[in-house]
Structure 1
Amino acid sequence: MAESTSTRSRRPRRSSRMSQRLERARQRNADQLAEQKQREQRVEDALREYIEAGEAIATEDAACEEKVAALQRKIDALRAESQERVTGEHTRQAQAALAIHEAGRTVEQVAELLELRSDKEARRLIAAGRADAEASSGPAQAAPDMVPTEPAEQRLTGAAAGEETTGAVSGEQRQL
């Protein structure tokens, strides 16, 4: 039995050429594994860069939107202030048109003098001036049913549509 174990454990010896081939194959395999590991690391690095860039983009977009929202609020405030000033200037124009009319000029003459497009526009301005004058005179002097509850531009829709009344009788608002 001793013979059988010694013959089994004995392997035939490889030739040096075969050993060199095996060593080169192992080296190629190790090199390929190293290259594969490097490729995987490059992919991992590229994924990290991509995700970090995506986070930076999202952060920048959010910051930009915050700035835009703040600027939009400023724009809205500026537009509101401008609209208030323009409304005040429209009121001045209406009061000036009323003053010209009350100085004895006809509606047609007011329209021509102010270079308005139509007599209708002159009537609208004169009526707006009257409404503003009545509103600024205060509720103490005006009749209770003459106190305006709407903005002057909305109150004057009848005058702007060309309706005319000739006088104020028992608390009615007078329009041309």
Structure 2
Amino acid sequence: MDKLHLIGTVAAVVGGVAAVVSAFVAVKQARNAKSYRDEIFDVKKRTVLLELLPEANKARDACKSLTTPVNKPHVIPEGVDEQRMIDTISDCLDRVKDNAHNFGNKKIGNAANLAAKFVAEYISKNPGLDRFQVADDMKSAIGKLISAIREAMEYDGVG
């Protein structure tokens, strides 16, 4: 009976040790999986930021053609397709908003929302001085968006 009791005790101890080792291995694998997931998230974030910066610069350039010309009458320059410029700006802002969940950065989202507000305001205004003033504000908001993207890129070591 003592021999059976000893074998049972040894088996219980071995089983307990195996369970503890298995738990440690599971915890280590879970940490590794989280690390890989975080790394994938960071790469995706960097990629999106790198793709958005040229689009934001293009939107700012489009905005320049809608802003108040210095020492000139308030008219859209000849050959500028105003609707195409608005579409370029809106497409950029839509892309930023579509990817906002990838940033975890409120500055980018806030700047995009502010610029979108100015786009809507620009569209609602009649052509003239008021529209140019809104375009100036829109250009400024897009500039803030570009700064927020660059700041996020610097913070994350992108570029």
TM-score of the pair, normalised by structure 2:
0.49
TM-score normalised by L of structure 1? 0.45
* Higher RCO (CA-CA < 8 Å; seq separation 6+): 2
Larger radius of gyration between Structure 1 and Structure 2: 1
- Bigger fraction of residues in helix: 2
